[in-house]
Amino acid sequence: MSVEEGIALLFLLAGCAFYLAGTIGLLRFPDVFCRLHALTKADNVGLGLVCVGLALLSGQARVASMLLLIWLVGLLAATVSAHLIARHAYERDAPPEHEGPS
Amino acid sequence: MMDVALPAVAVFLLLNLVAGMLRVYRGPTLADRMLAALLFSTTTVAILLLMAEWMAMPALRHVALLFVMLASILSLAFVGLPRDADEEDT
């Protein structure tokens, strides 16, 4: 197991930790907005770390650029989704119980 | 060593998906169920990338890219539901 694979393994494990945090946040947080916040942020950091680990493993520049593109589009998708769902949930239900920054 | 670690990470992400199903079951509002769909999209992309590396199939990376592009359309479609159709299903 070369040093490169070791480092890649560390990145993969860190990515898993963030995915776990995202899932726990999704299950444990009180209302939609906290869950949305936890989910979109944590999962994308997890995806980024997994992409870095895999880029290290593959070693080719073409594959690394493809992974970077996937991560960037993932970030775009997460921001769009988070904004749209939060506004949709905010309009339909009463504003969140705790005093958000109005 | 690597051909043991990659499937282990993929299986772990699959377990994350199963845990996300709990939110689908329990989610009071439709937006909560939509969150699980978001979780599915990012986790599936990661699993596809892991499989692409593990099985040495570069085509899977293009599949993952397609999935990521569909993820934003997912929430666009959800928000675009007609007003009465997305009432809370009591």
Q: Report the complex ipTM.
A: 0.84
Task: Render pLDDT for B49-85 as a digit per residue (tens, 0 to 9).
Answer: 999 999 888 899 999 999 999 988 888 888 887 765 5
Helix (H, G, I), strand (E, B) or coil at A27: helix
State which residues form the domain around A77: 3-91
* A29 is a domain residue: yes
Q: Which long-range contacts (CB under 8 A, 24 or more apart) does A2-5 make?
A: A4/A56, A4/A57, A4/A59, A5/A57, A5/B1, A5/B2
Query: For residue B36, which of B45, B48, B46, B26 has the smallest C-alpha distance?
Result: B26
Q: Structure tokens of A12?
A: 């993969």
Task: Look over chain A and give the mean of its residue pLDDT values, rounded to a whole number.
Answer: 87
Q: How far apart are CA A21 and CA B83, in angstroms?
A: 33
* A100 is a domain residue: no
Task: Render pLDDT for B10-41 as a digit per residue (tens, 0 to 9).
Answer: 999 999 999 888 888 887 888 888 888 888 89
Q: How many domains does chain A have?
A: 1
Asked if B65 and A26 come within 8 Å (Cβ–Cβ), the reply is: no
More confident residue, B30 or A16: A16
Q: What is the pTM of this model?
A: 0.85
* A39 is a domain residue: yes
Q: Is any Cβ of chain A less than 8 angstroms from the Cβ of B53?
A: yes
Contacts of A45 (CB under 8 A, 6+ apart): A15, A18
Task: Render pLDDT for A60-71 as a digit per residue (tens, 0 to 9).
Answer: 899 999 999 999
* Chain B residues closer than 8 Å to A61 by CB: none
Q: How many residues does chain B have?
A: 90
| Alpha-carbon distance values, A87 to A22, A40, A83, A90, B79 (Å) | 21, 15, 6, 5, 9
Asked if A43 and B50 come within 8 Å (Cβ–Cβ), the reply is: no
